[in-house]
Chain A
Amino acid sequence: MLDINDLTCGYESGFAIRGINLRVEDGEIVGVIGPNGSGKTTLLRAVTRALKPSAGTILLEGENLRRMNAMDVARRIAVVSQSAEYGLMTVEEFVLLGRTPYYGRLRFLETRRDLEKAREAMELTDALKLKDHLMSRISGGERQLALIARALAQEPKLLLLDEPTTYLDITHQVGILDLIRRLNKNFGLTVVMVLHDLNLAGEYCHRLALFDQGKVRKFGAPEEVLDYRLIEEVYKTVVVVEKNPISRKPYVLAISEAAREFSGKTAK
Chain B
Amino acid sequence: MKNKRTHWMAAILILAGLLALAAVVSLCFGSAGMAPSKLFQALLSGENTVEHTILWDVRLPRILLAIAVGGALSVAGVILQGMFRNPLVEPYTMGISGGAALGVCLAILLGLGKRFGGWPLPACGAIGAAATISAVYFLSTERGGLNIRNLLLIGIMISFICSSLITLIMAVSKVEDLHGIIFWAMGSLEQSNPLLVKIALIVSVLALFVSYFFCPELNALALGEEEALHLGISVENAKRMLFLLASIMTGLSVSVSGIIGFVGLVVPHFIRLFLGWDHRILMPASWLCGGLFLVFCDTLGRTIISPTELPVGVVTGLLGGIIFVYVLCRPERKRRCSI
Q: Does A105 contact B (CB under 8 A)?
A: yes
Q: What is the minimal beta-carbon distance from B280 to any residue of chain A, in angstroms?
A: 6
Cross-chain contact A83 with B5 (CB below 8 angstroms) = no
Residue of B nearest to A107 (CB): B216
Contacts of B40 in A (CB 8 A): none
A134 at the interface (CB under 8 A from B): yes
Q: A89-B277, A108-B280, A109-B5 are in contact. Are A100 and B219 (CB under 8 A)?
A: yes
Note all chain B residues with C-beta closer than 8 A to A77: 230
Residues of B within 8 A of A100 (CB): 216, 219-220, 231-233
Asked whether any CB of chain A lies closer than 8 Å to the CB of B229, the reply is yes
CB interface residues, B 136-190, toward A, < 8 Å:
none
A49 to B224, CA, bound (A): 15
Given contacts A108-B212, A108-B216, contact A81 B230 (CB under 8 A): yes
- Contact status of A101 and B232, CB under 8 A, knowing A81-B226, A85-B223, A88-B277: yes
Q: Does B215 contact A (CB under 8 A)?
A: yes
Query: Are A97 and B223 in contact, with the CB atoms below 8 A?
Result: yes
A79 contacts the other chain (CB 8 A): yes
Which residues in window 275-318 of B have CB below 8 A to A?
A: 276-278, 280
B322 within 8 A of A: no
| Cα distance, A70 to B278, chains bound together (Å) | 22
Task: State which residues 245-273 of B face A: CB under 8 Å.
Answer: 272
Contact A108-B226, Cβ < 8 Å, known A70-B233, A71-B232, A73-B232:
no
The answer, yes or no, to whether A29 is at the interface (CB within 8 Å) is no
Q: Is B222 an interface residue (CB 8 A)?
A: yes
Q: Establish whether residues A74 and B222, one from each chain, have CB atoms under 8 Å apart when the complex forms.
A: no
Return the CB mask of B207-235 against A: 1 if under 8 Å, else 0: 00000110110011011101101111110
Whether A252 is near chain B, meaning CB under 8 Å from some CB there, is no
Is A98 in contact with chain B by the CB < 8 A criterion? Answer: yes
Q: Is A50 positioned at the interface, with any CB of B under 8 Å from its CB? A: yes
- Minimal beta-carbon separation of B56 from chain A (angstroms): 37
Contacts of A50 in B (CB 8 A): 226, 229
* A81 near B227: Cβ-Cβ < 8 Å: yes
- Inter-chain CA distance A79–B222, complex, in Å, is 16
Do the beta carbons of A70 and B234 come within 8 Å of each other? yes
- Is there a chain B Cβ closer than 8 Å to A93's Cβ? yes
Interfacial chain A residues near B227, Cβ < 8 Å:
79, 81, 83-85
Check B223 against A75 for contact (C-beta < 8 Å).
no
Query: A48 at interface (Cβ–Cβ under 8 A)?
Result: yes
Give the interface size bracket for B toward A: 20 to 34
Residue B338 is within 8 A (CB to CB) of chain A in the complex: yes
> Do B278 and A93 have beta carbons less than 8 Å apart?
yes
Tell me whether B277 and A78 are in contact (CB under 8 A): no
Measured in the bound complex, the distance between the Cα atoms of B227 and A83 in whole Å is: 7
Q: Is the CB of A86 within 8 A of B1?
A: no
**With A108-B212, A134-B337 as given contacts, are A84 and B224 in contact (CB-CB < 8 Å)?**
yes
Question: Which residue from chain A places its CB closest to the CB of B234 in the assembled complex?
Answer: A70
Q: Chain A residues near B231 (CB, 8 Å)?
A: 74, 97-98, 100-101, 154
Does A235 lie at the interface of the complex (its beta carbon under 8 Å from any beta carbon of B)?
A: no
Q: CA of A106 to CA of B224 in the docked complex: distance in angstroms?
A: 23
Q: Does B52 reach chain A (CB closer than 8 Å)?
A: no
Interface status of A115 (Cβ within 8 A of chain B): yes
Would you list which residues of chain A between 133 and 163 have a CB under 8 Å from chain B? 134, 154
Given contacts A87-B277, A108-B280, whether A74 and B230 have CB atoms under 8 Å apart is yes
- A77–B232 CA distance with the chains assembled, in angstroms: 10
Name the residue on B nearest A100 (C-beta): B231
Q: How far is the CA of A89 from the CA of B337 in the complex (A)?
A: 9
CA distance A115 to B4 in the complex (A): 13
Q: Is the Cβ of B229 less than 8 Å from the Cβ of A48?
A: yes
Q: Do the beta carbons of A88 and B276 come within 8 Å of each other?
A: yes
CA distance A93 to B5 in the complex (A): 14
Cβ contact within 8 Å between A85 and B229: no
User: How near does chain A come to B294, taking the closest CB pair, in angstroms?
Assistant: 26
Contact B232 A75 (CB under 8 A): yes
Cβ of B337 to closest chain A Cβ, rounded Å:
5
CB-nearest residue of chain A relative to B276?
A88
Query: A96: shortest Cβ distance to chain B, in Å?
Result: 9
Q: Which of A92-136 contact B (CB under 8 A)?
A: 93, 97-98, 100-101, 103, 105, 108-110, 115, 134
Give the complex CA separation of A78 and B232 in angstroms: 10
In the A-B complex, the 9 residue pairs with the closest CB atoms = A74-B232, A101-B232, A71-B232, A100-B231, A79-B230, A88-B337, A88-B277, A70-B232, A84-B223
In the complex, given contacts A100-B233, A108-B212, what are 12 additional A-B residue pairs having Cβ atoms less than 8 angstroms apart? A50-B229, A70-B234, A72-B232, A83-B227, A84-B223, A84-B224, A85-B85, A85-B223, A87-B223, A108-B215, A109-B280, A134-B337
6 residue pairs A–B, Cβ–Cβ below 8 Å: A83-B224, A84-B224, A85-B222, A87-B277, A100-B220, A108-B280
Interface residue ranges, A against B (CB under 8 Å): 45, 48-50, 70-75, 77-79, 81, 83-89, 93, 97-98, 100-101, 103, 105, 108-110, 115, 134, 154
